[in-house]
Structure 1
Amino acid sequence: MLKALLFDFDGTLLNTNDLIIQSFMHVLEEKFPGQYKPEDCLRFMGPSLTETFEELTPNEVEEMTLKYRKWNIEHHDELVKEFDGVMETLEELRALGIRLAIVSTKRRDMIERGLNLMGASHFFELIVGIEDVKNVKPDPEPVLLAIEKLGVGKEDVIMIGDNSHDIESGKNAGVKTAGVAWSLKGEEFLNQFNPDYMLQHISDILSIVKES
């Protein structure tokens, strides 16, 4: 029987799409005036900031990361919002006895900030952030760490996310995976990575849990 759900955070539970795109546009427009459009930033969503800036500005990774985070933090609360049905679904999952964790490439303090803003901190017994692992998604390490800390079997877990990195990390760890159709990159994009489930709405996870 299904015992635990591992959720990505940005783009899965909390709609941070505008925040992330505007944060990237702020730093990239300053560094490369006129060279990037908002849609160009889609490919930077999923990888860690270090990975992205190692590609874009290999000699200024730390500086660009700090600039991104500064703008992102200053505008966080005004630009994010929860996706439809998240709180109600998390409440019902808890009532069903399902254990919940966050597995993200985001910093723990920013995950906690988003959860507090949503009023959802109490639903999650575990957060795996970027500082908790050596290798981020799509490496299996974050998912395997969550499984180890929760003390559950691989067969008892689903990794849920809005990006290819989430699906690949789950598959690499040997657990079932679910993509979310509200991903900014689109359902068709995620289907290329063959998740076990595709959620059209977050409440779809309830029927999967009940049938497991």
Structure 2
Amino acid sequence: MKNSLIKKIIKFQPKAIFFDWDNTLVNNWNPIFISYKKTLKELGLKKQNKKEILRNAKYSLRETFPKVFKNDWVKAKEIFYKIFKEIHLKEIKPIANAEKILKIIKNKKLFCGVISNKDGNLLRKEIDKLKWKKYFQVIVGANEAKKDKPSKYPFNLALKKISFKSNNNIWYVGDNEIDIEFAKNNKCLSVFIENNMFKRSDVKKKPDLILDKIENLELYIK
């Protein structure tokens, strides 16, 4: 990255940093894949490959299931959650050095939160499992706002919960194009963490900052 861009980003230091959850701070995709595949099988529907499942999983369940499962989407939701709840806490693993970054943010006394398209109750259980609640002033999951990411509603709800006014000094860190779109919709600085599932070539909208691993975020927080 050019020095001029680094200086520009450092100049506009964040007052708050919000994170996506899955594939940004934690690795918990396997339970999603397993639950999705078993739901399709139980309803007698065609198998989907990993790429197809990923394409849907970027959005919240209430956004994608009516499109995928049509009139059976409520039944599909019940099947999916039954399977997912049995396995997700057993398989969740922090992304390498994610907690290190959270500690740095906490020590710098910046506002920090999670805004995710994962169901809010399940999201909080995963955060509690890792004992990470101490790092976040606000947590917003799917179904808690009028609409989910990439709409503005979850962001506005997060700001309301911490009595924080929207401004350009908020960063949003995520792992896919929905996160970039969400950041731009809310005039946040968008940080894209390149990963095994989503590469920079997969994103249509250009993020403000691309990192190949989350610990590199430390370079931009002074």
TM-score (norm 2): 0.87
Letter in 2 for 1:154: N
Deviations 1:114-144 (A, max 9, x none): 1122221110010111232111111122123
Structure 2 CA distance for aligned equivalents of residues 196 and 104 of structure 1? 20
Task: Give the gaps of 5 or more residues in structure 1.
Answer: none
169, 174, 177: which one aligns with 2:182 = 169
In the alignment of these two chains, the number of paired residues is 209
Query: SS at 1:154's partner residue?
Result: coil
Output aligned runs, 1:141-156, within 5 Å.
Answer: 141-150=153-162, 151-156=164-169
In the TM superposition, residue 204 of structure 1 has moved relative to its aligned partner by: 1.6
106, 109, 114: which one aligns with 1:102 = 114
- Alpha carbons 1:147, 1:154 under 8 Å: kept: no
- Alpha carbons 2:37, 2:47 under 8 Å: kept: no
Structure 1 stretch displaced more, 66-75 or 200-209:
200-209
RMSD over equivalenced CA pairs, Å = 1.6
Give yes or no for the alignment of 1:186 onto 2:199.
Answer: yes
Structure 2 CA distance for aligned equivalents of residues 118 and 141 of structure 1? 27
- Alpha carbons 1:9, 1:102 under 8 Å: kept: yes
Aligned-pair identity (%): 24
In the TM superposition, residue 18 of structure 1 has moved relative to its aligned partner by: 1.1
2:6 corresponding residue in structure 1: none
Cα distance, 1:30–1:157 mapped onto 2, change above 3 Å: same
Deviations 1:52-87 (A, max 9, x none): 211111101111011101100101122221100011
In the TM superposition, residue 183 of structure 1 has moved relative to its aligned partner by: 5.5
Structure 2 CA distance for aligned equivalents of residues 29 and 3 of structure 1? 46
TM-score (norm 1): 0.91
Structure 2 CA distance for aligned equivalents of residues 200 and 4 of structure 1? 21
- Alpha carbons 2:43, 2:76 under 8 Å: kept: no
- Alpha carbons 1:141, 1:173 under 8 Å: kept: no
Give yes or no for the alignment of 1:15 onto 2:34.
Answer: no
Structure 1 CA distance for aligned equivalents of residues 44 and 26 of structure 2? 29
2:148 corresponding residue in structure 1: 136
52, 58, 63: which one aligns with 2:75 = 63
